[in-house]
Amino acid sequence: MNLNLTEEQDLLRTTFAELFASESSSDRVRAAEPLGYDPALWKTLVETEVVGMRVPEAQGGTGASLHDAMLVAEEAGRHLASAPVIEAIVASHLISGIASPAAQDALPGILSGSSLVSFALFPGGESQLVPAGAVADAVVGLVGDELVWVEKGRDVKPAENLGSSPLARWSLASDGVREVLASGDEAVRAWSAAREEWKLLMAAAIGGLARRALEIAAEYASERIQFDRPIGAFQGLAHPLAHSVAAVEGGQLLAKRAVWAIARGRSDAAELVSMAFAWAAESATLAVARSLHTFGGYGLAMEYDIQLYYRRAKAWALAAGDPREELQRVAERHWEPESDVALPDAGEVTLEFGLGERAEAFRLSARQFFEENLTSELRAAARYDWDGHHPGFHRQLAAAGLAFASWPEQYGGQGRDPYEMTALGQEFHRAGWSTHPIGTTRIIGETLLHFASDALKQEVITRVCAGEAVISMGYSEPGSGSDVAAAQTRAVREGDEWVINGQKMFTSGANKAQYVFLLTRTDPEAKKHRGLTMFLVPLDSPGIEIQAIHTVGDERTNATYYSDVRAPDSWRVGEVNGGWAVLAHALELEHGGGGLGAFYDEHLEVVEQAAVWARKALRDGRPAFEDPRVRERLAYALMRAEVAQSLGLRSLWSGVEGVANQGEGPMTKLFGAESFIADSADLLDLAAPDSLLDAIESDAAGSGAIELAYRLSAGTSVYAGTSEIMRSIIAQVALGMPRSRS
Ligand SMILES: Cc1cc2nc3c(=O)[nH]c(=O)nc-3n(C[C@H](O)[C@H](O)[C@H](O)COP(=O)(O)OP(=O)(O)OC[C@H]3O[C@@H](n4cnc5c(N)ncnc54)[C@H](O)[C@@H]3O)c2cc1C
């Protein structure tokens, strides 16, 4: 994977960030209203050669990639640039790709800035609102199967509008001097590809706009005092902003994935473009609304800048019509991929969302192993939770190097990287084999590798690698869950031993595991976080009792009781009273750091199962799938699964690269859980009443997967840190807001 910008891209981004910061200040944006056009800014932009950035060098442009253009668009959005950057880039790129003399003759004037050309977003000759149409000298668009160039031949009147954008009505059939630049398939494909390019650039622009609006709101919330506190310390304000940051950043990543997919010629490229546009429009709407609300009454005052963002978030994207319509394209492109969608060329793209060759090779070996060794008896016994732990098959997996392969060779691992481990996890899911025992054990094992003594590592990690042991987590207690550091389970030192007494709740897998990674209080006098110590305790120790807790999601977990359990000091992990540092490391992994923690596979599965139902189920005698409302809801759920996946991939990559924590893990966990819950519930509605049936009923919608997802998803916003805790962390680290959880 590679989500880094190249040095040139970093320079490009910084250059335009600085340019817009000085030439598109709030005063300048306001001064350009109501037309929404700043001629001085436009002149400066033309001098930077931004108009021809997507035009090949041989034709006088700078031959930049689609990703480069998105970086410029994002900065234009952050600073609400009153200039038709996107339309001009798209129009010049489109015209440069047309071989006709009329097109080639027009190009020099466009690049020099003597002719400002915009792009008509709707096909046909009827009158339409054209973005930048109020300031354009000419417009390119599609009429029938002709790509036409229409010059301003009459007094085109700006149409006053919500976003103070330079919109104006043009009729490509009748206005001004008209030239046909291309016709037939060439014309239709070129125009269609240009429209997809416009969508991606617009997604980048409104993503930048929304991210900046959230920052402005967070700054205000950190300063404005009410009830003797900064209002940002109130979760009612901080949490919606945090949720929006995850949604907006997920959208920005989705747009990047779309560019990468185009560059690699992937079959999912077209659907990703549509999802990126639809999601950017939706997430920006909510982000600016929440940002405006943060200002209370002042948010409504025209003197405050937030209203500038509020209006443009809608107005810019809606130039292309109702963004929800894009979901019909998502459905078509994903479930009827035979339609051949014209896409823009992406140029040279260094972004890489693939896991890499080594991971793909490892994936194939894991797939082969499951195909050869997962017998029908094992498949029948498979469960998705800890109860799916099968010691015999687990040993087989370990022997084949498919369990704890990331750990060092000295303990029996293979030193595989996180990308390979991610591919492995996906194969477990594909085979229908539970990841819970290995996933939990991996988090603890990786913590032990950091903090345990050499002797403990040698004994335990070696045993685990051999497939002889798995480890459960004992943090939560009856009186402390989210506030995990308030644990009361006591460990008292007696010579070389510790005596442990207390109770833990929700110790998942304690009935299957050989060890519990136990949080204890060793100094009740010290401050909450300073009196904790971690131990690795064998679960067959005398004094441990395990009682089952059955959940609505059919997941078994446990209450565990510790009565005078004696633990030698050698089982201690980390310093005495230094347990918080150890636990924090494990919690960060559990919160999605390093790519663990998303629910993408489960989310995607429920969407695909609902699509299977929709193709079979009849509504008014026709397959439900033919109903646009059904397609829209399926596409919406698919889109959110892909946003979650994009966040998860970034979290994975950030962990590998050691990128400073900006809340990537918690964003993955929060967005993954909340969208999985919401979409499972919506798909249950969609397929009702057949969706109510349990998997054992042959006519259950989606073979019972929707009903199960509804129950199972409920836990995802609770375990591994609740959504409230995730939102508080995100507000603090990604938006710099005050602490809001204690
Ligand atoms: C299926 C399942 C498996 C689990 N497995 C394990 C395991 O293996 N090991 C383990 O140790 N634990 C496990 N847990 C426990 C899990 O980590 C806790 O349930 C979780 O941390 C929440 O704690 P709680 O249940 O005590 O709820 P509480 O902390 O009491 O929270 C109740 C509600 O209050 C909210 N809340 C709490 N504090 C705040 C705050 N500061 N601001 C805003 N809202 C707040 C929470 O978000 C929640 O909605 C599991 C839980 C489940 C459901």
Confidence at residue 593, expressed as pLDDT on a 0 to 100 scale = 53
> Which pLDDT belongs to residue 591?
78
Tell me the CA–centroid distance for residue 508 and ligand 1, in Å: 13
Residues with a CB atom less than 6 Å from ligand 1: 235, 472-476, 481-482, 506-508, 551, 555, 557, 715, 718-719, 722, 724, 741-742
Choosing among 2.60.40.10, 2.40.110.10, 2.60.40.2480, 2.130.10.30, the CATH entry for 471-588 is: 2.40.110.10
9-26: per-residue pLDDT in tens?
Answer: 999 999 999 999 999 999
| Residue 256 contacts residue 298 (beta carbons within 8 Å) | no
Confidence category of residue 447, pLDDT binned at 50, 70, 90: very high
Does the bond joining 689 to the residue before it have cis omega, within 30 degrees of 0? yes
Element at 127 (helix H, strand E): strand 127-130
Q: What is the pLDDT of residues 425-436, one digit of tens each?
A: 999 999 999 999
**How confident is the model at residue 595, as a pLDDT?**
53
Residue-wise pLDDT for 455-468, tens only, equals 999 999 999 999 99
Are 330 and 275 in contact, with CB atoms under 8 Å apart? yes
Q: Supply the pLDDT for residue 596.
A: 47
- Which residue owns the Cα nearest ligand 1 atom 27? 481
Which residue CA neighbors atom 45 of ligand 1 most closely? 724
User: What mean pLDDT value characterizes the chain?
Assistant: 96
Distance 676 CA to ligand 1 centre (A): 18
Q: Give the type of residue at 72.
A: V
CA distances from 328 to 141, 320, 333, 350, 628 (A): 23, 14, 9, 30, 7
Is 471 in contact with 444 (CB distance < 8 Å)?
Answer: yes
CA 215 / ligand 1 centre spacing (Å): 29
**How many CB atoms lie under 10 A from the CB of residue 602?**
20
What is the pLDDT at residue 456?
Answer: 97
DSSP 8-state symbol, 530? G
pLDDT in the model for residue 237: 97
Number of Cβ atoms within 10 Å of the Cβ of 194:
26
Residue 483 C-alpha to ligand 1 middle, in angstroms? 8
Comparing C-alpha atoms, which of 163, 199, 161, 204 is closest to residue 312? 163
Locate all alpha helices (DSSP H) within 24-65, ordered by sequence.
Answer: 26-31, 39-47
pLDDT at 494 over 70: yes
In this predicted structure, what is the pLDDT of residue 560? 98
For residue 482, the ligand 1 atom closest to its alpha carbon is 29
Query: pLDDT tens digits for 141-199?
Result: 999 999 999 999 877 889 999 999 999 999 998 777 889 999 999 999 999 999 999 99
Do 476 and 506 contact (CB within 8 A), yes or no? yes
Superfamily for domain range 593-735: Butyryl-CoA Dehydrogenase, subunit A, domain 3 (1.20.140.10)
CA–CA gap between residue 591 and residue 286 (Å, rounded): 25
Checking if the pLDDT of 723 tops 80, the result is: yes
Nearest CA to ligand 1 atom 38: 482
Instruction: Give whole-number Cα distances, 90 to 6, 12, 47, in Å.
Output: 23, 18, 17
Q: Where are the domains of the chain?
A: 7-190, 471-588, 593-735
Whether the CB-CB separation of 240 and 731 falls below 8 Å is answered with no
Residue 506 Cα to ligand 1 midpoint, Å, equals 9
On the 0-12 / 13-18 / 19+ scale of CB atoms within 10 A, 316 is: buried
Mean pLDDT throughout 295-321? 97
Task: Say whether 608 sits in a helix, a strand or coil.
Answer: helix
Residue 98 has pLDDT above 50, yes or no: yes
Question: Could you read off the pLDDT of 572-607 as tens digits, one per residue?
Answer: 999 999 999 999 999 988 876 555 446 899 999 999
Architecture field, domain 7-190: Orthogonal Bundle (1.10)
Q: Which atom of ligand 1 is nearest to the CA of 742?
A: 41
DSSP string of 645-659?
Answer: HHHHHHHHHHHHHT-
Q: What is the pLDDT of residue 741?
A: 84
Say how many Å lie between the CA of residue 679 and the centre of ligand 1.
Answer: 22
